[in-house]
Structure 1
Amino acid sequence: MKMIERTSSTVHYILHQYWIDFQDPRTKDFFLVDISPFTFAMIMASYVLFVKWIGPNLMKNREPMDLRLVMFVYNTAMVIINTYFFVMVVLHCDYGKRFIDFKYPDRKDNSPRALWELSQGWYYFMSKFLDLFDTVLFVLRKKTSHITFLHLYHHTCVPLFGWLFLKHNAVMPATGLFALINSFIHIIMYSYYALSTLGPNIRPYLWWKRYITLAQLAQFAFGIFYGIIMFFLQTGYPVFWTYFGLTQPFFFFYLFYDFYRNSYSSKTKQN
């Protein structure tokens, strides 16, 4: 009986009290950051449920929607949004010096700069939910073959990681570096998607699609390199989150490499 009580108490602490005790006090009232991990998990599970089962079933006996104009507007908007975040990081990273400061940030820092960075981090976090809309477009266009494990893992984990960082480890230099590189790649990626909606006449000029995946692979390779350096030089970082953050670039690199190999290596052999 005591073992059951201890187990129940431990589970409650991990799922609820831990996130209160170790919440960054500066972000505790931020929208969607102020919710429990269970609630956030339910939000992401609802997204997966819709794009994998509910949406495809609703479209089962319907014709695919022609959404080229919607796609052009959406992808153009995402280019603008990611350009904003890219420029903001470039202008406020002290010529890259922020990224090589491996001391754990002071969570009591309420300076104007720290609070501004927190607000920008929240806006960037919210922009990751806009990324989910492209999956909805796949569903409405009946392109469900594009909704792969890689696609879903990437689209669910990035908002989750954003939530974790804002909840627990806000204003880490590593998150700024991620936003810088990720925004740059997304500018290229969404530009490609926007151009691809303009019809067959533009297609011959879109030969560079594979290089988007290569850029993503380079991003994760750099993430591995940076993570290893940070692991040995960091001071004050929580041990669990340090290990957790270090594993993700490896896993993403594997997923994107597998996608690249299956998508392009086989085509090269056929050609």
Structure 2
Amino acid sequence: MEAFFQSVLPQADPNPIVLAGSPWPILTILALYLVFVLKLGRIFMEHRKPYDLRRVLMVYNLFQIAYNGLYFGGIVYYLFYKQICNLRCLETFPQGHEHKQVERVFHAAYLINKVIDLMDTVFFILRKSYKQVTFLHIYHHVLVVFAGFALTRTYGTGGHLNILALLNTMVHVMMYFYYFLSSQYPSIKGNIWWKKYITLAQLFQFTLILGYGIYVLFFSPNCGVPVGLIYVTMLQSVIFIYLFATFYFHAYLRPAKSPINNRKSEVKQS
């Protein structure tokens, strides 16, 4: 089995970071996650009241705000202030490079955080907030974790993936701040006017990633970033743009039916 994984996902780094070596930890985590959120979690909660997780969520959301905020600040510091990379062509540092360990630490921290993000869905299940456990939500979490592992294993750390991490952590600071407010102050949840801008920020994020991939592909012909990696990030950006745009349309743009129209609809069906 290890030989199969090595042929499908060859290991680029002889000293892989945590969770980027053997595929079994990531596959086990994702299997347990899917079994719980799709089946066992709902069975477990079937005859139970929703758990009051306000204190747990307060700690979790504040932790995520701090984690993503520090990560974002660190990437900005090294990319734009220290300028340790060529922004026109973000290649992974070779072994022995003076900044290689910094790159590895940041990349490991990002991959670990994507696994921690899976707890979002677990909390939804324990609170019986099933309407939030959508296809987009589950697809996004599973893909980000597995793609993070697969790309890290076959490509290495840092490099082109820094752009994705930079934008993603910026959006997650906004998202977890909203989660914090809505979980701690339920009375104002419906009055957080900037909620829709989180989705717009996610759309902006994937549009920038797509645009950056196009730029590297067509305007940096001598860049050493594997073309396959660029195409993968561009393809996933297109998929996520479609999914988040569809969600935004249905959640914020499609006019809600008025009570009168709802009653007419019920009469027609009866």
Q: TM-score by structure 2 length?
A: 0.85
RMSD: 2.4
The ranges of structure 1 where at least 4 consecutive aligned residues each deviate by more than 6 angstroms after the TM superposition are: none
The answer to whether the 8 Å contact 1:78/1:187 transfers is yes
Query: What CA deviation, in whole Å up to 9, does each residue of 1:46-104 have, x standing for no partner?
Result: 21111110100111111111112211221111000001101100110034783633264
Partner of 2:266: none
Distance 1:262 1:93 in 2: 37
In the alignment, structure 1 residue 100 sits paired with structure 2 residue 87: yes
| Alpha carbons of structure 1 residues 201 and 43: separation in structure 2 relative to 1, 3 Å | closer
The answer to whether the 8 Å contact 2:20/2:152 transfers is yes
5+ long unaligned stretches in structure 1: 1-10
Distance 1:47 1:110 in 2: 37
Query: What CA deviation, in whole Å up to 9, does each residue of 1:83-137 have, x standing for no partner?
Result: 110110011003478363326435x432231121112110111011111111001
5+ long unaligned stretches in structure 2: 260-270
In the alignment, structure 1 residue 168 sits paired with structure 2 residue 157: no
The answer to whether the 8 Å contact 1:89/1:180 transfers is yes
Partner of 2:31: 45
Q: CA deviation at 1:159?
A: 1.3
Distance 1:204 1:19 in 2: 45
Which of residues 12, 15, 33 in structure 2 aligns to 1:23? 12
In the alignment, structure 1 residue 82 sits paired with structure 2 residue 72: no
Distance 1:207 1:270 in 2: 21
The answer to whether the 8 Å contact 2:103/2:158 transfers is no
Partner of 2:20: 33
| Alpha carbons of structure 1 residues 114 and 101: separation in structure 2 relative to 1, 3 Å | farther
Distance 1:213 1:270 in 2: 25
Distance 1:64 1:101 in 2: 49
| Alpha carbons of structure 1 residues 94 and 203: separation in structure 2 relative to 1, 3 Å | closer
Distance 1:241 1:118 in 2: 18
Distance 1:145 1:90 in 2: 36
